[in-house]
Amino acid sequence: MMAMKYIKLFFCFFLTLLVFSCTKLEENFRSQLEESNSGTISAAQLLISAYNSLNTFQNGNIWHVNQHTTDETIAPTRGPDWDDNGQWRALHAHTWNADQGQIRNAFNDLLSAQFAASNVLQFNPTPQQAAEARFIRALSMYMVLDGWGQVPYRENLTDYRITPTTLKGTEATDLIISELTSIISTLPENSEAYVANKNAARALLMKVYLNKGAYVNRAAPTFDAADMTKVISLADEIIGSNKYSLDDNFFDNFAPDNNTKSAENIYTLYNQNGDRGGGVANSAIQGFHYNMSPRGNNGFSTLSDFYDKFEATDQRRGIYYNYAAGLPNPGKRINVGFLEGQQYNLTTDAPLQDRKGNPLIFFREVKIRETDPNMLERTGIRVVKYPYDYPHLNQQSDNDWAIFRYADVLLMKAEAQLRSGNTAGPLVIVNSVRQKRGATPMASVDLAKLLDERGREMYWEGWRRQDLIRYGKFLQPWQEKPADDPKNLLFPIPSSQLAVNPNLTQNPGY
């Protein structure tokens, strides 16, 4: 079914056009599925399509709303470039509304993924196929809960004229926990990381239990001792599987051959040139300058306050990474992590210039609106989390996208221990991670230090918004963002969804 990475995609649905709560669309789409190809649609084909529906995580809409709303990421407007009707500024400054593009599209993408996963269950899947589909559905539902606080959910999969119900707070978390708990025994133990597996379900359960208190009260999250115990026990099950270890080189987790190289990746999204995949290449392209290879869009940056959280010796901040799919890089310039200062041609080692002839220096300074003509192309430190796959220049890159990693599991366990009053255990865990990354061991750890460590370890992986909310930091001011309204702890329900699903209600304040 999906045991090898080179399975070809035979079937593709137009999932991006589908909105799960639009009952007329669902009815028509379902009818087409049932009538097309004289019954030749298979659960295996539908399952691949369901996996593909998660590509919104790969520098897509769900990534944008969970990264650009944080202290890690900014897409500064550079003169007229990257204006886009102010939608990027709105994400960073928390001034969005119910019609903001990425928020609306992320909500729709996740509901489409839920539909695609549910649809697998209607075509006689094997028990394992059904469990994989239910994992995909649980993951998409979880991300809707995390972002919007209410989850449209369809129990009746035979009559799409019935409007989905809406689950909120504890009701939604309980369903997701029940789903994941019931499928773990049927999910594979040993599989490629891009196949839903037992430890992937455990890692997602850890996220649910760790954030349960935030889903009840985002303004003042609480942390039940029983929930923290569950986080710790699930982590111990993953650790006890003896399948994972911290990599000596941090960027092995994100390289074009990370499917064979990484010892940390628990669940990933499949990318293979010539087969299928998502927009992993954009994670570099959207920040690269026009005169770099590959030619970039000169957009996304990080903020100097976040960059300054790293020690110079911390390999996560940036290193020369020698990898098979890279450029020759005779000067052994930093090519992964954070790109700051003068940039170079990685084939000839010649210093690069911007289009005005200025030295191509990525400056620490960044503004949400940049108007200085000499800074438009150079403002902001750029980020390369996924080493670029140069043999597939401007094509589908091979880097599988990491959703759950072993280091995240360890840091979640440390947090649950710390919130349970244990300080010795978390210090050992945090220092085990820092030692692998070349950072100085900590003498002590508290919640503030642990949040910073999660930032250093997990930057640009799409979890920062959730972490900041859980730690009570999301509404605080940071660079180019003032303190803001508590309503922003939830995204608004898109107006288009409210119009077609009477069981949805707009979140307070919108």
pLDDT per residue, tens digit, the chain (510 aa), is 343 443 333 333 333 333 444 443 444 444 444 444 435 789 999 999 999 999 999 999 999 999 999 999 999 999 999 999 999 999 999 999 999 999 999 999 999 999 999 999 999 999 999 999 999 999 999 999 999 999 999 888 788 788 899 999 999 999 999 999 999 999 999 999 999 999 999 999 999 999 999 999 999 999 999 999 999 999 999 999 999 999 999 999 999 999 999 999 999 999 999 999 999 999 999 999 999 999 999 999 999 999 999 999 999 999 999 999 999 999 999 999 999 999 999 999 999 999 999 999 999 999 999 999 999 999 999 999 999 999 999 999 999 999 999 999 999 999 999 999 999 999 999 999 999 999 999 999 999 999 999 999 999 999 999 999 999 999 999 999 998 999 999 999 999 999 999 999 999 999
The token pair that represents 189 in the structure block: 């133990």
Which residues are within 8 A (CB) of 240 and not within 5 positions of it... i.e. 6 or more apart? none
Say how far apart CA 332 and CA 257 lie, in whole Å.
20
The per-residue pLDDT for 14 is 35
Which residues are within 8 A (CB) of 434 and not within 5 positions of it... i.e. 6 or more apart? 314, 440, 441, 442, 453
* C-beta pairs of 410-414 under 8 Å, 24+ apart in sequence: 410/235, 410/239, 410/246, 411/450, 411/453, 411/454, 411/457, 411/458, 412/206, 412/207, 412/210, 412/231, 412/235, 413/206, 413/231, 413/232, 413/235, 413/236, 413/239, 414/445, 414/450
Q: How far is CA 420 from CA 21, 134, 229, 379, 413, in A?
A: 40, 31, 8, 43, 11
The per-residue pLDDT for 27 is 42
Query: What's the pTM value of the predicted model, to 2 decimals?
Result: 0.93
Do the Cβ atoms of 436 and 248 come closer than 8 Å? yes
Torsion, Cα 275 278 282 284, to 10 degrees, reads -70
Do the Cβ atoms of 342 and 289 come closer than 8 Å? no
In the Cβ-directed half-sphere of 334, how many Cα atoms lie within 13 Å?
22
Say how far apart CA 154 and CA 119 lie, in whole Å.
11
Burial class (CB in 10 A: 0-12, 13-18, 19+), 275: middle
The token pair that represents 125 in the structure block: 């899947």
The per-residue pLDDT for 239 is 98
The per-residue pLDDT for 36 is 40
The per-residue pLDDT for 23 is 40
The per-residue pLDDT for 161 is 82
- CATH of segment(s) 27-187+489-500: 1.25.40.390
The per-residue pLDDT for 109 is 98
The per-residue pLDDT for 160 is 76
* Extents of the domains making up the chain: 27-187+489-500
The per-residue pLDDT for 28 is 41
286 phi, psi to nearest 5 deg: -70, -10
Do the Cβ atoms of 355 and 338 come closer than 8 Å? no
Say how far apart CA 319 and CA 332 lie, in whole Å.
9
The per-residue pLDDT for 19 is 40
Question: Nearest to residue 460, comparing CAs of 58, 52, 87?
Answer: 58
The token pair that represents 318 in the structure block: 């940036």
